[in-house]
Structure formats: structure tokens, C-alpha cells
Structure 1
Amino acid sequence: MIYTVTFNPSLDYIVKVDSFRLGEVNRTYSEKMLPGGKGINVSIVLKNLGIQSVAMGFIAGFTGDEIQKRLNDFGCESDFIRLQSGLSRINVKLKSNEESEINGRGPRIREMDIKKLFDRIDRISDGDVLVLAGSIPNTLPEDIYEKILDRLKGKNILAVVDATRNLLVNVLKYHPFLIKPNNHELGELFGRKLQNDEDIIRCAKELQSRGARNVLVSMAGEGAILVEETGKTYKSPAPKGVVRNSVGAGDSMVAGFLAGYLANRDYQEAFRTGIAAGSASAFSEDLASKEDIQALLRQIETIQRRS
């Protein structure tokens, strides 16, 4: 089974406004509400690809009820921990001549709630996949990712970590199966701007030397690079299309990579499916559908590079 963890889920209220004017009354011409959070996005795209997962995390109040309901409406399973007080956050995504976001803070998570999460984590068994994705609220300890992976030490778990800075660096000692920084995040880890593919590959291999098994680096319109554990390196340009959505593309890439890998344990196929899924979400108003992913797969030619 695949488990995804979203520590601070949200209801994403997505509105479109013609020529937004600050300080004035603006009327929307389009609006929708979706369950949000990086792990939740992974679960939805996996479900679109016909793969079941269990979404975990913390929810609170009537907004938490709505997050769970909408996720279940997608056909996803969930095992959220319900907090006794507070409200799950609402994030406003405003799309106009520019995109703007207002993200809520989220409810307070107490020690007893963290223990409940650990109890669920302890049930994960050999052969399962665990996806830890996104930032953490300030009511959680900064080493929560480390504590989770330490509890799973000794089990044959495929751990996927999609996070930034210390959240990512500090878990490399647990040898995660996959990490997915983008090229800018990768540069931040090394305190410099990466100028070319060779820089990206060199830094990715450095993260491998610190413990990561596979490093998937997304580069927006430039495609992606995979440095995988056997030593092979792949690069592929992004498929052609019009970018309509900046939310969830990276999460979709993670879901696509997992789906491709679990199908036949082939890294090149996993890489291709990851790029197709990430691009399909970027080219759509919603998260990637199976049909859109399959259509883009036919465009993608993976280029193998010598290590």
C-alpha cells in the first residue's frame, strides 16, 4: 500500500477574476474548491492512474470535514487524525493578470495528536510506500520527518520525500528511495545558482553520496533529470503544451514516477511517466487525468546520458 502524509491539509478556493484591482470590489467569473496539500495531490493523481493509496495527516473543524469528503469523492482512501479544536485552513488561489495566493495558518497540533500519527505510521509494513511531502506547520517539531523515518528503520519501506532545505537534508541518512527537489531548491541546498545540466547532476550525485537512492530534479519548462541508484542519468525535455496551472505539477510528477516504477520496477519508464504526469497537471485546470498522461507519454523521448 502507498501512504501519503500531508501535515497541514487545506481547502483550496480557486477563483478567477478579470483584471484584479486592489482595494476595489472584484467579481469572479470562475471558482472551485478542492482538497489541497502535496500529499493529497499525490493521492489524487495516483487514484486517477488506478492506484489506491491512503492519505494521512491532521484535519480539524468543518473545513476538515469538507477536505475529507472531497478527497473521498475522488475515490481516495483516508485515515486522518481529527484534532479536537481549530479549523483546517482555507488557501485562496487568485488567478487574474497575475497569480496570487493567501495561505491559512492551520490548527494547533498537540503532542497527543503527534502520538496518534506515530501509531498509524507504526502499522506501515514491509513493501509499503510512504510519501512525505511539503512543509510543516510551526506547531510540529522541526525533526518530524526524521522521527517518522527513524520509526520505520529496519522495515523494507520505499520512502519518498518531497521537501526543501533541512527537512530534506536531515533525512538523507535514512536512505529515502526518492527525493524530488526542483532545480532552484537543489541550488539552495548548495548555496549557489546551478548553471547547467552538469551542475544539477553533480549536486544530485552529492545528495546520493549522503544517502538518497534516486534524485529526481524537476526543471519546469526545461523538463527533468533523474539520477538513479544504479548510476544511470536520464534527461528529458518537457512535452509541448500551454501551461494553465502552477499548482500540483511537482506532486503529480511524484505520483507518476511511483506509478511507472511500481508497474515494472523500470526507472526509465518511471521517469517518463513522472514527466508526463507533471506536465499533464501543468497543462490542465485540474490535476492530471489518466487520459492526459497517456497522451503526453507518446510525446516524450528520454535521453540517456553517460554517468
Structure 2
Amino acid sequence: MRQILTLTVNPALDVSTSTDRVVSGHKLRCGPSRLDPGGGGMNVSRVVQRLGGQALAIYSAGGPTGEAYRRLIEAEHIPTLVVPIAGSTRQDITVDETATGKQFRFVLQGPELDELEWRSCLALVAESIPKGGYVVASGSLPPGVPEDFYARVARLTREHDARCIVDASGPALAEALAEGVFLIKPSRRELGEFLGTTLDSDQSQVEAASSLVARGSTEFVALTLGGAGAVLASEAGVMRLQVPQVRVQSTVGAGDSFLGAFVLRLAQGHDAATAFRAAVAAGTATAMTPATELCHRDDVERLEAELTASAG
């Protein structure tokens, strides 16, 4: 199995709870709360481990929330390398409105990193890149980190004969694509904003994903479409998968789970089609869980088998 390294430069301590209704001007009495160590790259590492693999996770952490974050990661026995920062690790808040079934997500921007701190992240990545393996750079960039940060990660990854996977949006995604990467995993909204269009039709989605492959910006585009499934574009062509019909409880972490399963199956030596089915299964399995909980292995393997059977 090829090795996997994940990078989370802007992790978040995910706080989730529920209340009857979200209204302004009142104290909102909430139900039980839950804490999870979130952030794109860390969630990828957590899903890889849940599915029987292992990924080394690099992340930054600081302050009281950073210490709480560390303890949660240690409890899951994820192998990690930590970059200490002066600021306090951010929190994200998810509130389920029980009266309506709506979900409200408050995503905080995170602490500002100074140049020494973000360069320390890059240096640790450079020291840890697995030769011939995969580097997953995922999540938002906090204040102070340059827009070409993921492009720099991609350059380091290529210099170490590894493959860089980027899950980002906005300028960070644009800079990474200008540098060239192995795979990106945008949502429909993220890719539409990058290309300046809405991607409302099946054809526009396929054309958008394929155009990035054709111009040499990336070898694979895994375009996630929520309840409408996903599209995988590469030089070999385009695949589309519908998501299995399940009872959706929360979509928090579904994209990260998709990516975690995808890179794990690739690292295990499976082809892209197999990895794509596993990814859709993992994203769907996470949507079946409440709040900020991630997928369960039994659910992923069951859904993966269903998708494999339908493909056959």
C-alpha cells in the first residue's frame, strides 16, 4: 500500500447540538452537545483509519481549543505531526433545528498564522512526503497564509515523486491548478465559482470537469453534486454515479469522507473506478450519521458493494 499524508492548516474543533427553533433575540436552549476534531485533511485521515488504512496527519494547533483538539485526535490514535501556533484553534458550530429539520452551520475563519508558522507547516510537509505516495491538502486557508500555499505543497509533492490531491476553493484552488496537481475534489458550487458559471446541467458539469483535465491542470476531477451524485473526469473519460437512496441526517463531513475513501482505495492499488465507487459510498454513509459524525465502515462497505453490483 502506498503511504498517505494529509495536511490541515486550518483545523476546527467541531461543536454540534440541537434546538427546537433558531430565532433571534432569545436564549436558545440546546440539547446534548458533541465535539469532533474537524478540518478537511484531518477528516480524511480519520476516514482512512475507519476504513482500515492509515494516514499521517499534519496540522496546526494552538490555545485551549487546540489542546482539546489534540486530546480528541489522540483518543482516535491518528498518527500526527503538530505545528504549534500562537493563535487559538478555531471552532465550527452546527445546530440542528428539530422543529423543521433544518441545519445551521457556522464556520469561523480561524487564527492568523505568521510567516514562521505557515512556513513551518511547509517544512514539515517537505520532511514527511511519502515517496510514490499521496499528499492530501484539504480545507480553507486561515488569515496570514498566502493564496499559493497549496500550490507550494503541490510543487514540493512533485519534487518528492508523490501525487498531490487538493480540496479547496477560490484563489487557493486556482493557484493549485496553475501549478498542476493529481486530483481535485470541488463541489458544484466551488467549481462553478472558479469557472464563472452555475453548472446547472449534466452536460455543463461534465464539460467543466473535463476542461481542467484537457488543459493539464489536473489528472482527475472528482466533482461532487450532493444528492445528485458525483462526476469523475480523467483522460480515460467521464464516469457519473448516483448516490444510493438513504435517510440523510447530516451532510457535514460528507465531502471529506468521499475524499478519504477515494485516496485510500488508490493507495491500496485499486483503479480509479473502484476508488470512485468507494468515495460515493463513504460520502453517502456519512450523510446517514447525525451532526458532525463521520461514516461507519460497515455502512461504507455495504454501499460500496451495492454500487459495484449496479455497475456490473
Question: TM-score normalized by structure 1?
Answer: 0.93
Shift of 1:6: 1.2
Q: Percent identity?
A: 29
Tell me the residue number matched to 2:72: 70
Pick aligned residue for 1:227 from 225, 228, 233 = 233
Write the letter of the residue equivalent to 1:212: T
**Residue 285 of structure 2 is aligned to residue 258 of structure 1:** no
State the aligned residue count.
Answer: 302
Shift of 1:151: 2.8
| Structure 1 residues 174 and 93, CA gap change in structure 2 (3 angstroms) | same
- More deviation, 248-257/295-304: 295-304
Tell me the residue number matched to 1:279: 284
Match of 1:132, SS?
strand
Shift of 1:301: 5.0
The unaligned stretches of length 5 or more in structure 1 are: none
**Residue 53 of structure 2 is aligned to residue 44 of structure 1:** no
C-alpha RMSD over aligned residues: 1.8
Write the letter of the residue equivalent to 2:305: R
Question: TM-score normalized by structure 2?
Answer: 0.91
Structure 1 segments of 4+ aligned residues over 6 angstroms from their partners: none
Tell me the residue number matched to 1:150: 155
The unaligned stretches of length 5 or more in structure 2 are: none
Structure 2: how far apart are the matches of 1:214 and 1:105? 29
1:76-95 superposed matches below 5 A: 76-83=78-85, 85-95=86-96
| Structure 1 residues 103 and 219, CA gap change in structure 2 (3 angstroms) | closer
Pick aligned residue for 1:112 from 116, 139, 157 = 116
Tell me the residue number matched to 1:297: 304
Write the letter of the residue equivalent to 2:211: E
Q: Is contact 1:6-1:37 (8 Å) kept?
A: yes
Structure 1: how far apart are the matches of 2:104 and 2:178? 36
Shift of 1:242: 1.2
Structure 1: how far apart are the matches of 2:23 and 2:198? 35
Pick aligned residue for 1:195 from 175, 182, 200 = 200
Match of 2:268, SS?
helix
- More deviation, 49-58/270-279: 49-58
Tell me the residue number matched to 2:224: 218
Q: Is contact 1:268-1:302 (8 Å) kept?
A: no
